[in-house]
A and B are shown apart, each in its own frame.
Chain A
Amino acid sequence: MNQTPRAVNRTVLVLAGLLFTLAGAAGLALAAFPGFAGAWQRGAAEFGRASAAVLDATTLPGQRDSWLWIVAAVAMIGLVLLMVWWVAVQGKGRTGVFARDYYDDGTRGIVELASAVPEQAVKAALGGRTDIVSTSVTAWEAGHDAGLRIKVQPRLGAAPYRIADDVSAIVSTLDAALGRSGPVVIHLAAGARTRMSRAERVR
């Protein structure tokens, strides 16, 4: 339900993976095959001469080095900023505001429902149940209406369909009470707490 740019993740991972794989394979081939090492050194010398010519051509009179180095430094800063952005958008999209509306009849202003409203409602509705170990509710940006992610940890052995149906009914009640119907994910999860707690009794 988060807004991680998955297509970007996949594309950049494939690109970076290819680069590192090729570099590693080339290094191994250099260490293992003398024939490849000869070809590599000839090719590298050729490329070195060509780039030295370019660097000489871009050196301004009176300067010691080419201005291309400044361009390279700026390009590297750009790449670093892109990487920082990439890390920052992982798992993005959590919001503390469940709903927000502007009213201009009567007293004008904005009404906001914090994400704690649906969270407390769902937790209160599921509070007395013995077949649930823990509940957590988070709100996520999803277009106009915020999306809800309800993570429930059932006690080991509890029937998933019963819990799913009951939580779904609670969500429908919540829709009617709050007048919102954004996307909802009900996640029946296993975790450390379910493994440590005692199993569901037979019923």
Chain B
Amino acid sequence: MTPEDRARIEARELTSARSGAAITAAVVVALLCLYLMFEAAMKSIGQPAWVKSPDEWWAWLSGLPGTADPFLLAAGSLAVLALGLFLLLSGLLPGRRARHAMPDPRAVVIVDNEVIAATLARRARLEAGVAPEQVLVVVSRQLVEVQVRPTSGIPVAAGAVQAAVEDELRTNRIDPLPEVKVRIAESGVVGQ
């Protein structure tokens, strides 16, 4: 595996292929084309049209908005606009997946953010000395948010939790290293 191959595979693993949007677009365009093909074929062999002949469709289209119910026209246009924006944004936005990469000499290692969050939550919980239900960790690409609800009467040191979570991130060689934000809740809960 050359470094270029590795970078390419890693980039592909970390971003979405947009298969869902591609299949949606393909199905819509294929259905439209099938219908147009059918009407064009009817026209070319001189048979009566199925729904409307191409001429009638053109007359309808060029007569808009007088030829259609204004409410239906607006609603249909909105639906088409929404579909178009969905496809356009799918094509333009980077589409990052909720994953991080880890360096490894042999393989490309990809870790789901949820897996990282679980291991960070375990470490933060041990550091703060609270039950699993009192810690919530959210991992995104550049930020790790740790929320701890301390047990009533037992204070939790935010600095220690922060240091522990950062150490756990470094130990797991998460690349690039996200920023860590620790929030200790004002009110405590009854400990388990």
Interface residues of A (CB under 8 A from B): 1-2, 4, 6, 9-14, 16-28, 30-32, 37, 40-41, 44-45, 47-48, 51, 64-65, 67, 69-70, 72-73, 76-77, 79-80, 83-84, 86-87, 90-91, 147, 150, 154, 156-161, 164-165, 167-168, 171-172, 175, 181-190, 194, 199-200, 202
A160 touches B115 (CB 8 A): yes
B119 touches A158 (CB 8 A): yes
Give the CA-CA distance A33 to B126 in the complex, in Å.
Answer: 64
Chain B residue at minimum C-beta to C-beta distance from A152: B115
Size category of the B interface is: 35 or more
Task: Pick the contact of B40: A48, A76, A168, A190 (CB < 8 A).
Answer: A76
- Main SS at interface, chain A: helix
Interface contacts (Cβ under 8 Å), in number, total: 255
Q: Evaluate contact between B44 and A65: CB separation under 8 angstroms.
A: yes
**Smallest Cβ-Cβ distance to B174: which chain A residue:** A160
> B172 touches which one: A22, A32, A159 (CB < 8 A)?
A159
Q: Which of B86-94, B142-150, B159-167, B178-186 faces chain A?
A: B86-94
Known: A31-B77, A76-B33, A185-B110. A18 touches B18 (CB 8 A): no
Of all chain A residues, the one with the shortest Cβ separation from B117 is A190
Give A200 to B115 CA distance when docked, in angstroms: 12
- Name the A residues within 8 Å of B105 (CB-CB): 168
Residues of A within 8 A of B29 (CB): 16, 79, 83
CA separation between A150 and B106, bound complex, in Å? 13
